[in-house]
Amino acid sequence: MKTRGKPTGHYTQAARLHNVIRLIESRQGVTLDDLVEETGVDRRTVHRDLAAVQEAGYPLVAEWQAGKKVYRFLTRTRQIPPITFTLDELVSLHLLRSLAAMLPPDPFGVEIDALFAKIHAALPPRSAAHLERIGRVALPRFQGARDYSGSAELLSELRRALLYQYRIKLSYARGGKPPASYEVDPYTLVLAKGGLYLLGHAHNRDAIRLFAVERISSLEVTRQRFEIPDEFDPEGCFIDAFGLVSDQPMQVKVRFDQEVSQSVRERIWRPGQLAAVEPDGSLLLSFEAAGTLEILAWVLSYGRHAELLEPPELRKELRRHLKSLREIYRKK
């Protein structure tokens, strides 16, 4: 009598892997004992097959249910139907690719190149070359590109933790101080200021924290899974920030002279900002924001063309910076 699900005759690993994938997908999760029964091989072989499935790129996760480990896919893995793009959508996609130049080349850059190679394979060579020219240039020069050389393995592990929702332990260096240890539930990656930041819940701080990836000196992915709270809002973490820092919001007012007033007026610096043109052509810009150092750096970037008027304490802080600068440039 044939046992349910057991194969007969020659059963290659490829066929067995296909059967394992089918079982996990169709049943929304299976136990190790289920797989042993269905495939007709021992537990050690099933373990090897599960490892092969994960290495092949399937988002395999394991969870304990009623005292048994259940294997399932984090997302559905059925064949994705063909995706088509209009010409306008392809132009937008290539412009986005230029922004991706700020991402580390390994692993992100390599995979983005592979993605566009697939797109170009379906286009006439002349069209593919033209789209490449349109979206080729990315210039994060003002803020400087981050150095991620030697971080490929760390970034791959971080991405794995993000995808499978595994808690991580990391060592983080900041401000010349000795590295500090954190246990973090990684929620998302933030691309800002020419670099990558990890946003997640730090358990030893019991709060959401932002970590510059290049300052993570070591990272360990645990096998402890977590769930992202339904109320988590990544954009909300920066709703008050002028840049990335969310400290105490303040009312800011800056006067820009006539020489730069138009270029400043043409931009949205903060939601709810107020811009008033003065009779002499200067511009008064007012908004609410947090991030003392980022606001000061922004005002200083305009040099003599900008005057910080409010708040008074920030104006005093700027005066101290200018005094220090004057001392530096007075030296022979």
Supply the CATH number for residue 189's domain.
2.30.30.520
Domain assignment present for 1: no
Domain assignment present for 117: yes
Q: Walk along the chain (332 residues) and give the pLDDT tens digit of each residue.
A: 344 444 444 456 777 888 888 888 777 778 888 888 888 888 888 888 888 888 777 788 888 887 888 888 876 545 556 678 887 888 888 878 777 777 777 787 788 888 888 888 888 888 888 888 777 665 555 566 777 888 888 988 998 898 888 999 999 988 778 899 999 999 998 888 878 899 999 999 899 999 999 899 999 999 898 888 889 898 888 999 998 888 889 999 999 999 999 999 999 999 999 999 999 999 999 999 999 999 999 999 999 999 999 999 999 999 999 999 999 988 86
Please state the length of the chain.
332
Domain assignment present for 2: no
What is residue 81's predicted lDDT score, i.e. its pLDDT?
A: 61
Domain assignment present for 311: yes
Burial of 285 (0-12, 13-18, 19+ CB in 10 A): buried
Domain assignment present for 78: no
How far is the C-alpha of 53 from the C-alpha of 44, rounded, in Å? 14
Domain assignment present for 147: no
Q: Are residues 180 and 230 in the same domain?
A: yes
Q: Are residues 169 and 193 in the same domain?
A: yes
CATH number, residue 265: 3.30.70
Contact by Cβ (8 Å): 244, 193:
yes
Beta-bridge partner residues of 61: 72
What is residue 170's predicted lDDT score, i.e. its pLDDT?
A: 95
Neighbours of 253 (CB within 10 A): 16
What is residue 123's predicted lDDT score, i.e. its pLDDT?
A: 81
Q: Are residues 265 and 204 in the same domain?
A: no
Contact by Cβ (8 Å): 275, 285:
yes
Q: Are residues 255 and 231 in the same domain?
A: no
Of 50, 73, 96, which marks where a domain is finished? Answer: 73
How far is the C-alpha of 19 from the C-alpha of 113, rounded, in Å? 32
Of 184, 203, 237, which marks where a domain is finished? Answer: 237
How far is the C-alpha of 191 from the C-alpha of 45, rounded, in Å? 41
Contact by Cβ (8 Å): 233, 206:
no
Expressed as residue numbers, the domain containing 174 is 152-237
- Take residue 184 and report the two structure tokens written for it: 């973090």
CATH number, residue 57: 1.10.10.10
- Asked if the bond preceding 234 is cis, omega within 30° of 0, the reply is no
pTM: 0.67
State the total domains in the chain: 4
How far is the C-alpha of 61 from the C-alpha of 53, rounded, in Å? 11
Domain assignment present for 159: yes
| Residue 216: C-alpha distances to residues 78, 285, 286, 313 (Å) | 36, 37, 37, 34
Domain assignment present for 141: no
Neighbours of 272 (CB within 10 A): 9
Q: How does 195-216 read in b/e, with b if 16+ C-beta sit within 10 Å?
A: bbbbbbbbeeeeebbbbbbbbb
